[in-house]
A and B are shown apart, each in its own frame.
Chain A
Amino acid sequence: GNSVTQMEGPVTLSEEAFLTINCTYTATGYPSLFWYVQYPGEGLQLLLKATKADDKGSNKGFEATYRKETTSFHLEKGSVQVSDSAVYFCALTLYNQGGKLIFGQGTELSVKP
């Protein structure tokens, strides 16, 4: 079946540290890949996406590269800020699936000053 697996949290970093959140997927087809972010008390919002192999999605200093050979879409940021503290969800959707998202379990990030 189709699934997404993320590294377990919580992840605690100091401000300006480098961030990696691992995400791997299993898909019966050629998925599009997404990172959504959920700030405390809010709904999810799209952070970045990539629709084909070797595409790099980027936004707000975050990046993720679609790696078909390793079925991965790891999220990275070179220097995190306290305001990046949130829960991050990796997700996929498949063509002709009506845009239905399949989510990973989420990774909580806490950034300390």
Chain B
Amino acid sequence: DADVTQTPRNRITKTGKRIMLECSQTKGHDRMYWYRQDPGLGLRLIYYSFDVKDINKGEISDGYSVSRQAQAKFSLSLESAIPNQTALYFCATSDTLVATSTDTQYFGPGTRLTVL
């Protein structure tokens, strides 16, 4: 079984709808991240969490919210989806609480979201 899973894998929704993307991990990692990938822009950080009580905004958090329900679960919500949120969304985890810069991040398979 995959260590980092994301559901759904694909989703088509309409403008104004609320949508939640879910991420679960079995790696036992404390840190979790949400990124979005757009063609020609690479990946950009939306939110990150160092533990259940520590959630931080990333580079592009406007229009998104997150919930860290447990160490293993980190959900991303779009309260009112808009077409420019159409993108590929990735969840990632990493495995240390120490503020080192050498962490490896482990990525889920991604969720392709289309907002019509």
Contact = CB atoms under 8 A, between A and B. Distances in A.
B115 interface: no
A9 to B, nearest CB: 10
Nearest to B105: A101
A55 B48 CA distance: 29
Contact of B101 (A4, A31, A103): A31
Interface string B35-46: 000001111110
A97 interface: yes
Interface residues of B, number: 29
Contacts of A106: 40, 42
Contacts of A49: 102, 104
Given A100-B45, A103-B43, A43 B104 contact: no
A69 interface: no
B47 to A, nearest CB: 11
Nearest to B42: A103
Interface stretch (B12-20, B68-76, B106-114): B106-114
Among A36, A42, A44, max chain B CB count under 10 A is at A44
Interface of B: 4, 31, 33, 40-45, 48, 50, 56, 58, 90, 92, 94, 96, 99-110
Interface of A: 4, 31-32, 36, 41-46, 49, 51, 89, 93-101, 103-106
Given A36-B107, A46-B105, A99-B31, 19 more contacts: A42-B110, A43-B109, A44-B90, A44-B92, A44-B107, A46-B104, A49-B104, A51-B101, A51-B102, A93-B103, A98-B48, A98-B50, A99-B94, A99-B101, A100-B58, A101-B33, A104-B42, A106-B40, A106-B42
